[in-house]
């Protein structure tokens, strides 16, 4: 009787391992959804392609080197391109967006 339970447990454990491997090592489902730096804001001027820097409406936007689609969505959702008084938007990091103001001697 104990051998039956042990065999069932081993079979279930092997099944769980196979399912976990198929989930972890399956082909990336997001394949084909990547966009280029130029597609983030088509009207923007590329300052540095290797660092992911563009210039748009007088603002320097630092995107970094990956996940341009997500960053474009953030720009659109948060309306970052419409902000006034901002000289630089830094989006290199995963969980933060850094906004730098224009600094002039009159302020």
Q: Is residue 31 part of a domain?
A: no
Neighbours of 97 (CB within 10 A): 14
Answer whether residue 69 is part of any domain. yes
pLDDT band at 55 (very low <50, low <70, confident <90, very high): very high
Which residue range forms the structural domain that includes residue 74?
A: 37-101
Q: Quick: pLDDT tens for 6-49.
A: 899 999 999 998 888 877 776 655 555 788 888 899 999 999 99
pLDDT, tens digit, for every residue of 68-87?
A: 999 999 999 999 888 888 89
- What pLDDT is stored for residue 33 in this prediction? 74
**15, part of any domain:** no
Q: Which residue has the tokens 């196979």?
A: 18
- What's 94's DSSP letter? S
């Amino acid at each position: 009787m104990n051998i039956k339970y042990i065999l069932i447990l081993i079979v279930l454990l092997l099944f769980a391992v196979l399912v976990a491997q198929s989930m972890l090592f399956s082909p990336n489902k997001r394949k084909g959804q990547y966009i280029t730096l130029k597609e983030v804001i088509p009207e923007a001027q590329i300052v540095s392609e290797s660092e992911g820097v563009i210039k748009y409406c007088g603002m320097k936007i630092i995107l970094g080197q990956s996940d341009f689609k997500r960053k474009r969505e953030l720009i659109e959702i948060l309306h970052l391109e419409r902000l006034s008084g901002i000289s630089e938007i830094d989006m290199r990091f995963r969980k933060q967006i850094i906004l730098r103001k224009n600094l002039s001697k009159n302020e």
